[in-house]
Amino acid sequence: QKEVEQDPGPLSVPEGAIVSLNCTYSNSAFQYFMWYRQYSRKGPELLMYTYSSGNKEDGRFTAQVDKSSKYISLFIRDSQPSDSATYLCAMSSSGGSYIPTFGRGTSLIVHP
Amino acid sequence: DGGITQSPKYLFRKEGQNVTLSCEQNLNHDAMYWYRQDPGQGLRLIYYSQIVNDFQKGDIAEGYSVSREKKESFPLTVTSAQKNPTAFYLCASTYLGMQFFGPGTRLTVL
């Protein structure tokens, strides 16, 4: 079992849809949870950062962490074609020297 | 502007050559990292450094070397011992569990 599991997609949705992206993990020591957006041939951009459990909202993006289920989600409301990218989840712990473990990424396509 | 810069953006290497990829950051972060990204394989850690003059091997260090003489700089050398170096290389730094990436260097072997 991989330490972090993420469905590679592609996930194709119409413009305006609510998108749900998810990752599961096995290491209960993870405390820091991140979501990145990566456009083709660009470096990943940090979108959301959450410490421990709970929800965090930033504009159209909401990140959720459920440590009891070892499950994290990223919701995108009112999706736009410019949201088309690969989304990477990542998580780390202080015991692991903060070195993140990444999911393989989910490819999202938002069509007009 | 604070951030991470990588150069060059594109790099071409002939068989048997060593090449060095540059990574500079002005974020005052202690920890820096090098990753390799191949299609369908996600990010793989090559080397990391948590303090000047110290660095550790990651999961795929064979064929690569690094140095950390200054806090701001963490260059990566791809040696001729790396058998399949064509990939997208990403430099990153970390602060309080958050990792930030540079724009990447695409290396192609001719």
User: Model confidence over A49-100: pLDDT tens digits?
Assistant: 998 888 999 999 999 999 999 999 999 999 999 999 999 999 998 776 788 9
Considering only residues B96 and B64, tell me which one the structure prediction assigns the higher pLDDT: B64
Chain B residues with CB under 8 Å of A35 CB are none
The residue of chain A with its CA nearest to that of B38 is A104
Neighbouring residues of B17: CB distance < 8 A, sequence distance ≥ 6: B80
What is the per-residue pLDDT for A96? 67
Please say whether the beta carbons of B50 and A97 come within 8 A: yes
Nearest chain B residue (CA) to A43: B103
Least confident of A88-102, B16-30, B55-69: A88-102
- Judging contacts by C-beta atoms under 8 Å, the chain A residues touching residue B98 are 32, 34, 46, 49
Q: Which residue has the higher pLDDT, A95 or A31?
A: A31
The pLDDT assigned to A98 comes to 80
pLDDT mean over B22-34: 96
Chain A residues within an 8 Å CB radius of B102: 43
Question: Which position has the token pair 């499950």?
Answer: A71
- Substitution target from A35, A37, A92, A102 for chain B, most B beta carbons within 10 A: A102
Closest CB to A100 among B4, B99, B106: B99
Chain centroid to CA B97? 19
Q: How would you list the strands of the sheet with A19-25, edge to edge? A: A4-5, A19-25, A71-76, A61-66, A54-58
Mean pLDDT of all residues belonging to chain B = 94
Residue B14 burial by Cβ neighbours in a 10 Å radius (0-12, 13-18, 19+): exposed
Chain B interface residues facing chain A, Cβ-Cβ under 8 Å?
A: 4, 6, 31, 33, 40-43, 45, 48, 50, 88, 90, 94, 96-104, 106
